[in-house]
Chains A and B, each alone.
Chain A
């Protein structure tokens, strides 16, 4: 199984709502990532988890709260978002440095619209 799955596929939320994005992989990868992608731009790194611990936070506003409950799951909790947060949110996973191939596997993304 070389797939990263993400739910939901689409999400529309108001600025006062609380919602969560979910990501799952069963490739045994111990590094998981959240990216934000705006139209016609490359993915922009938000968070990195290594061995289920947050290792990188790219100065992301606290209205985005990541969580890694176990080695297969990654969540992104959303609260009090702004319209400019509307984007495609991508999850990815990979082996850790030294474990082998450094290929990142991306999920299909969640298209988020904040009204």
Chain B
């Protein structure tokens, strides 16, 4: 089965800095890579996703990159704000199953 590793487990930055969270996956059949943000007391919310036919995707301050050869993908948040503080989960799934395998999560803390 798929195995997703996520690093770091905790990331502390100053407001305005950039934050990068990295994930690796093991199953070469995986072709969909979502990123979820979970705020305290809430369910995970999809913030960006990428499919294996593209290498990069950007949405305002958030970008995701994918390296299929190396089987790793990363989340980049620029100009961080205190409201970006949350737990972020990466995940991977393949087309025959829409059930994602989650990474262990990264707790992002943005200090004002």
Chain A residues within CB distance 8 Å of chain B: 4, 6, 31, 33, 40-43, 45, 48, 56, 90, 92, 94-97, 102-109, 111
* Other-chain contact of B95, A33, A102, A103 (Cβ < 8 Å): A102
Max count, chain A CB within 10 A of own CB: residue among B43, B45, B89, B96: B43
With both beta carbons as reference points, the residue of chain A lying nearest to B100 in the complex is identified as A104
B100 close to A97 (CB less than 8 A): no
Q: Which of A92, A97, A109 contacts B42 (CB 8 A)?
A: A109
Query: Given known contacts A90-B44, A109-B43, what 19 new A-B pairs fall within 8 Å (CB)?
Result: A4-B43, A33-B99, A40-B87, A42-B102, A42-B105, A43-B44, A43-B89, A43-B102, A48-B99, A95-B98, A96-B98, A97-B96, A102-B93, A104-B98, A105-B46, A106-B45, A108-B41, A109-B42, A111-B41
User: Across the interface, do B43 and A102 meet the contact criterion of CB distance under 8 Å?
Assistant: no
Which listed residue, B32, B43, B49, touches A106 by the CB 8 Å rule? B43
How many contacts A-B (CB < 8 Å)?
A: 53
How far is B34's CA from A59's CA once the two chains are assembled, in angstroms?
Answer: 26
Most chain B CB neighbours (cut-off 10 Å) among A6, A95, A97: A97
Report if B72 contacts A (CB, 8 A): no
For A104, the chain B residues whose CB sits under 8 A away are 34, 46, 98, 100
B52: min CB distance to chain A, Å: 12
Give the CA-CA distance A14 to B112 in the complex, in Å. 42
Q: Is the Cβ of B43 less than 8 Å from the Cβ of A103?
A: no
Q: How far is the CA of A31 from the CA of B95 in the complex (A)?
A: 14
Which A residues are in CB contact (< 8 Å) with B74? none
A102 touches B32 (CB 8 A): yes
Across chains A and B, which 6 residue pairs bring their CB atoms closest together, nearest first? A42-B102, A106-B43, A102-B98, A108-B43, A109-B43, A106-B44
